[in-house]
Amino acid sequence: MTQAWLVLTRPDGRDVAAPSEAQMAAALADVYGGKVIASDGGPGSAVLRFGYDDGLMYEMEVSTGGAVRFAEWSDRDCEIALASPRTMTVAAQADALQLWRLMAQRQVAKIRNQPWRDD
């Protein structure tokens, strides 16, 4: 039987398996508060990933300034992209948390229907 999983990579790089909504909100607070800087000096970010043991993986990265990137992969190793990454800017932390809630609920169709940029 296929098992679903959910992992949050916090701005400090630590992974949290099956994060609570409070843990997701705290990570976004760090990102939106500008408390994190990437190792290359760029904006810091946090990433929420979900997928299935035998295949598909989805990831949504939120960076300082509200830049959001959503990617779909054939597997956890990110070998084959199933679509070009989608991007948008989300000004409000609460809106980013709502996107992550959709991720946690595995609502891929609703995520795809968001107002992504045409890059």
Q: What is the pLDDT of residue 56?
A: 87
Question: What is the residue type of 110?
Answer: K
Residue type, position 41, single letter: G
Angle between helix 93-104 and helix 21-32 axes, rounded to 10 deg: 140
| pLDDT, averaged in runs of 10, over the chain (119 residues) | 87 94 97 77 86 88 94 70 85 97 96 88
User: Whole-model pTM above 0.95?
Assistant: no
Burial 53-63 (b: 16+ CB within 10 A, else e): eeebbbbbbbb
Contact between residue 30 and residue 10 where contact means Cβ atoms under 8 Å apart: yes
Distance CA 12, CA 50 (A): 19
Where are the chain's structural domains? 4-112
- Partner residues linked to 72 by β-bridges: 58
pLDDT at 1: 46
Query: Where would I find the H helices in 1-119?
Result: 21-32, 93-104, 108-112
Whole-number pLDDT of residue 81: 62
In sequence order, what are the residues at sequence separation of 6 or more whose Cβ sits closer than 8 angstroms to the Cβ of residue 30?
10, 11, 36, 44, 46
